[in-house]
Amino acid sequence: MAKFSAIGPRLIISIVLFAMTVLCSAAQVAEDPARKAFIQSVQERAQRDAKLGNPQEGIAGLNILFGNKAAQLGVTPLELLSTYEDAYEKAKSWSDFLGPKIGWIAAGAAFILGIFAAFLKDSVKELLQKWREQLYRRLAGHRWLRRKALRRYRKALIEKYQNIKIPFRPDQPLNMRELYVPLKLVGSSDVDQIAADRSVAEFKRLVAIGAPGSGKSMLLRSLALAYAEERLTGVPGNPIPILLELNRLNDSDTPLEEHLTKILELNDFPHGEDFVNAGLTEGRLLLMFDGLDEVNILRRPRVVKEIQDLLDQYESCRAIITCRNAVYNQEFVATVDATLELVEFNDQQIVRFLAAWKEKMRGDRSVEQLMRTLQDRPRIMALARNPLLLTVIAYMYTDTDFALPHNRAGFYEQSTNVLLGIWQQSSNRYRDAHKRLILQHLALFNQDRRGESGPGGRSIDLPTALAEVKKILPDLNIALDQAESVIEEIVERSGLLLAVDGGSQYQFAHLTIQEYFAAVALQNDQAGLFGRFQTDPNAWRETLMLWCGLGRDSSELIAKVSEIDAIAAFECLADAQKIKPEIADAIVNTFEAQLTGSDQMEEPVIRAFAAVAADARPRGVKTFQILQNNLAGHNVIAREHAASALSFTNLPKAAEVLSSHYIQNEWIRPKLVRLGNLAVPALAAHAANGSTAAVDDLSAVGTHEAIIQLIDLLWRIDNGSPYVAWQLAGMITRREFLEVMEHYSIPSHSGESERLDWIWRTDAGTSNAMTAVVGRIAYLLQKAPASSMPATANVSPYLFVPLLIDQQPQITSYLRQFVDAEIRKIPDFPERIPENAQMELLFSSELVEEDWMRSRSLHRVEYPHLRYGRLRKNEVVTDKGSDVGEKFEREFMTQRWAPLLLQVPKKIRLPFLLELVRMSPRPTPWHWRRIWQPFHYQFESSWHFLAVRLLWTLISLAALTEVPRLAVEAWPNKPVEMVIVSLTGICILCCIFLSWRGPDDYRSDDSEMFFLGNLLGFGAIPYATIADRDWGILKLSPYMVWAPGVLIFLALLIHRFADWPTVAVAMAAVFLPGLAISLRGLWLARLVRNPLTHVVELFQLTKPITG
Q: Are strands 205-210 and 338-342 parallel, antiparallel or unpaired?
A: parallel
Give the integer Cα–Cα distance in Å for 316 and 281: 7
Triad 30, 36, 37: Cα angle to 5°: 135
| CA torsion angle 182 183 188 192 (round to 10) | 40
Give me the helices (H) in 140-195, please. Answer: 146-161, 176-179
Residue 209, SS3 per DSSP: strand
How much is the CA Rg of the chain, to the nearest whole Å? 45
The pLDDT, as a whole number, for residue 1103 is 65
Same domain for 277 and 313, yes or no, is yes
Q: Is 1100 exposed, middle or buried (0-12, 13-18, 19+ CB in 10 A)?
A: exposed
Give the integer Cα–Cα distance in Å for 166 and 174: 8
Packed helices 603-613 and 581-597: angle between N→C axes, nearest 10 degrees: 130
Same domain for 705 and 647, yes or no, is yes
Give the integer Cα–Cα distance in Å for 764 and 773: 17
Q: Name the percent of the chain in helix, strand, coil, to the closest 5.
A: 70, 5, 25
DSSP conformation class of 74: T
Same domain for 786 and 824, yes or no, is no
The pLDDT, as a whole number, for residue 286 is 95
The pLDDT, as a whole number, for residue 243 is 95
Same domain for 925 and 980, yes or no, is no
Triad 194, 308, 221: Cα angle to 5°: 45
Same domain for 370 and 338, yes or no, is no
HEC secondary structure over 851-893: HHHHHHHHHCCCCCHHHHHHHHHHHHHCCHHHHHHHHHHHHHH
Same domain for 734 and 805, yes or no, is no
State pLDDT tens for residues 461-481.
Answer: 889 999 999 999 999 999 999
Give the integer Cα–Cα distance in Å for 777 and 727: 10
The answer to whether residue 469 sits within a structural domain is yes
Give the integer Cα–Cα distance in Å for 392 and 257: 37
The pLDDT, as a whole number, for residue 951 is 83
Give me the CATH number covering residue 605. 1.25.10
The answer to whether residue 64 sits within a structural domain is no
State pLDDT tens for residues 853-863.
Answer: 334 433 333 33
Triad 834, 840, 845: Cα angle to 5°: 165
Do 552 and 578 form a contact (C-beta atoms < 8 A)? yes
Overall domain count for the chain: 6
Give the integer Cα–Cα distance in Å for 373 and 381: 9
Do 734 and 701 form a contact (C-beta atoms < 8 A)? no
Do 345 and 385 form a contact (C-beta atoms < 8 A)? yes
DSSP conformation class of 406: S
- Range(s) of the domain holding residue 304: 145-343
Do 319 and 311 form a contact (C-beta atoms < 8 A)? yes
Give the integer Cα–Cα distance in Å for 440 and 694: 49
The answer to whether residue 114 sits within a structural domain is no
In the listed set 868, 902, 930, which residue is the last one of a domain according to the structure?
Answer: 930
The answer to whether residue 56 sits within a structural domain is no
- Sign of the CA dihedral with 380 first, then 384, 385, and 389 last: positive
State pLDDT tens for residues 1044-1087.
Answer: 888 888 888 888 888 888 988 988 888 788 778 877 877 777 66
Helix (H) or strand (E) run with residue 416 in it: helix 408-421
DSSP conformation class of 934: -
Do 642 and 648 form a contact (C-beta atoms < 8 A)? no
The answer to whether residue 558 sits within a structural domain is no
In the listed set 538, 562, 584, which residue is the last one of a domain according to the structure?
Answer: 538
Q: Partners of 878 in the beta sheet?
A: none
Give the integer Cα–Cα distance in Å for 397 and 597: 44
Q: 766-772 — which CB contacts under 8 Å span 24+ positions?
A: 768/741, 768/1106, 768/1107, 769/741, 769/744, 769/745, 769/1107, 770/738, 770/741, 770/1106, 770/1107, 771/1106, 771/1107, 772/746
Same domain for 172 and 226, yes or no, is yes
First to last CA, the chain: 109
DSSP conformation class of 346: -
Give the integer Cα–Cα distance in Å for 132 and 136: 6
Residue 191, SS3 per DSSP: coil
Same domain for 607 and 683, yes or no, is yes
Residue 116, SS3 per DSSP: helix
In the listed set 775, 793, 811, which residue is the last one of a domain according to the structure?
Answer: 793
Give the integer Cα–Cα distance in Å for 221 and 231: 13
Same domain for 914 and 1003, yes or no, is no
The answer to whether residue 985 sits within a structural domain is yes
The answer to whether residue 544 sits within a structural domain is no
Give the integer Cα–Cα distance in Å for 340 and 199: 9
Give the integer Cα–Cα distance in Å for 1046 and 962: 10
Do 997 and 1020 form a contact (C-beta atoms < 8 A)? no
Cis peptide before 972 (omega within 30 of 0): yes
Low-confidence ranges of the chain (pLDDT < 50): 1-30, 94-95, 97-103, 191, 453-455, 763-766, 844-882, 998-1034, 1106-1107
Same domain for 806 and 775, yes or no, is no
955: Cβ contacts below 8 Å, ≥ 6 apart: 1046, 1050, 1070, 1071, 1074
The answer to whether residue 134 sits within a structural domain is no
Same domain for 904 and 978, yes or no, is no
pTM of the model: 0.66
Give me the CATH number covering residue 174. 3.40.50.300
Same domain for 781 and 804, yes or no, is no
Give the integer Cα–Cα distance in Å for 451 and 299: 9
Amino acid at 455: P
